[in-house]
Amino acid sequence: MSEQDSASEKSVIEELFGSITALIESQDPYDRLMLEAYQMSLARTSRVKRALEEQKPTAAMGGNCIPEILVAMDIEPFQFLEFPFQDAILYGGMEGLRDMVDKSVEMFGPHMCSFVRLACYAVEARLAPFPTVVIGMSSICDSGSAAQQLVSNHPDWKNRPSYSIESPARRDEKSYEYIAFQLKELVAFLEKITGQKLDLDKLKEVCEISNEQLQLWWEYNELRRAIPCPSDWKFASMVNQMARYWGIGKPESTAWLKKAVAVLGEKVKAGKGLEGIKEKIRFFWFDFPPIIWGDRLFRSLAEEYGAVMVMDLYSDNPPHTMIDTSNEKAMWMGLAKRATYDFGMPRIALGSADLYRQDTIRVVKDFSMDAVIWPGHKGHKDAGALVNIVAEQCRELGVPLLNLGCDLLDDRVVPVGEMKKKIIDFFQITGLA
């Protein structure tokens, strides 16, 4: 890490408390909403930890598949890495996280996606809490497959009740029917293991709430098309989590999303962008946004150069499946499509190479992007194999692309100051800055 990076870096805890203190003191409706989202996130974390302690039904997931079914059955979902990751940061700050990263590299080598490698380490080091059941999904992601294989064969986990969804890498009716069949099998499995019964009327209700939440997410992202962009990446990430993970099917999350759309709508009407930022460059971050060092990078780019990260690949809301709840068969088919092909990692990992190209065209045009930054996260081999397709499409669109090269979590691989310099040089060479 350079002296400049070291001097400017605060601990994660200091950053978090500083951000929350500023939100508490602010009367701005946008800030108040972000504070409310933090509070809801903490309440959800407490709820899941309480369920684990009281041995209520929980499900550890390898991806964000089928949350509607779990919500309808009152089964709390969480990720393998979620709580060990939180504990490492809360109790150790950046050094705690780096220590965990180093130990995971010693155990599994440096070539996996760092997030998945940490999940594997959490399992191997006996840091991950034991769920009632484990739910997995097949993927072309090497790292993700390795994590599932580890859990399936680990002496502490191999006898844990588990079910894995096999996802065909095709987008056709036969594939959806096959996945729908597996979802029904999964429900029977969950009923047997947890004792919780699926009420189809409850599932219908959750799906209808989820449909409304996805529509609100789409409306929110439509507002982000405005120039200047009214929302930052952290707020966008919270909307994503609310609509597609821990807030799904919850009426209180719907209420929050409605307020988010209303507040952003007022900002757009007033022509307001990010507070204190004069937007000059709009860029598309073509992968996961970095959880730990992202704010340092994106904030400094915006403040010093007016370069705003308007959209990332996983906060993007492509045309999605609205589940038809008019009959049972249609509902299962809708869940099958949504679980595997609509959003996030399943959409990208199971989709065709052409899907990357189509998403590039749509986002660049819809959000008036000036540039695309491909972070090139270490271990994202499925994405790295497709960068030339996206680069070629960007040339046709007349939008420059930077293949950055970095790590999703570990800012020692490429320090933030070095990444920032590469991005600024890229903007200057292409005439954007």
Is the distance from CB of 150 to CB of 120 less than 8 angstroms? yes
pLDDT greater than 90 at residue 222:
yes
Q: Are the CB atoms for 84 and 104 separated by under 8 Å? A: no
pLDDT beyond 90 at 88: no
Amino acid 358: pLDDT:
87
* pLDDT score at 142: 60
State how far the Cα of 288 lies from the Cα of 195, in Å rounded to an integer.
Answer: 36
Cα torsion angle, 195, 201, 206, 207, sign = positive
**Residue 206: phi, psi to the nearest 5?**
-65, -40
Please say if the pLDDT value at position 22 is more than 60: yes
Query: 């399992």: which residue's tokens?
Result: 123
Rounded distance, CA 366 to CA 364, Å?
A: 6
The per-residue pLDDT for 291 is 78
Q: Give the model confidence (pLDDT) of 283-307 as tens digits.
A: 999 988 887 889 899 999 999 999 9
Cα separation of 122 and 82, whole Å? 9
Find the angle CA(343)-CA(199)-CA(327) to the nearest 5 degrees. Answer: 65
Q: How confident is the model at residue 6 (pLDDT cuts 50, 70, 90)?
A: very low
The per-residue pLDDT of the chain, averaged, comes to 87
Task: Please tell me the pTM assigned to this model.
Answer: 0.89
pLDDT above 50 (res 7):
no
Per-residue DSSP letter, 48: H
Tokens for 252, please give them: 């209180």
Residue 47 has pLDDT above 50, yes or no: yes
Given a cut of 90, whether residue 139 has pLDDT beyond it is no
CA distance 228 to 367: 11
157-215 pLDDT, tens per residue? Answer: 888 999 988 877 777 889 899 999 999 999 999 999 999 999 999 999 999 999 999 99
**DSSP class of residue 414?**
S
pLDDT tens, position by position, 223-250: 999 999 999 999 999 998 899 888 988 9
Rounded distance, CA 51 to CA 69, Å? 17
Please, which pLDDT band fits residue 326 given cuts at 50, 70 and 90?
A: very high
User: In angstroms, what CA-CA distances link 75 with 177, 212, 354?
Assistant: 24, 22, 36
pLDDT given at position 137: 79
- The letter for the amino acid at 263 is V
What is the torsional sign of CA 194, 199, 202, 203?
A: positive
Confidence check: pLDDT of 16 > 70: no
CB atoms within 10 A of CB 2: 12
71-85, 257-271, 346-360, range with the lowest pLDDT: 346-360
Instruction: Reply yes or no: is the peptide bond before residue 319 cis, omega within 30 of 0.
Output: no
**pLDDT score of 290:** 87
The model's pLDDT over 311-321, given as tens digits with 9 standing for 90+, comes to: 998 888 777 88
- Decide if pLDDT at 5 tops 60: no
Identity of the amino acid at 213: Q
163, β-bridge pairs: 135
Look at residue 324 and give its three-state secondary structure: coil
Structural domains in the chain, CATH included, are 48-200 (3.40.50.11890), 201-429 (3.40.50.11900)
* Whole-number Å distance between alpha carbons of 382 and 386: 7
pLDDT-derived band at 93 (thresholds 50, 70, 90) equals: confident
Q: What is the mean pLDDT of residues 310-337?
A: 90
CA distance 214 to 211: 5
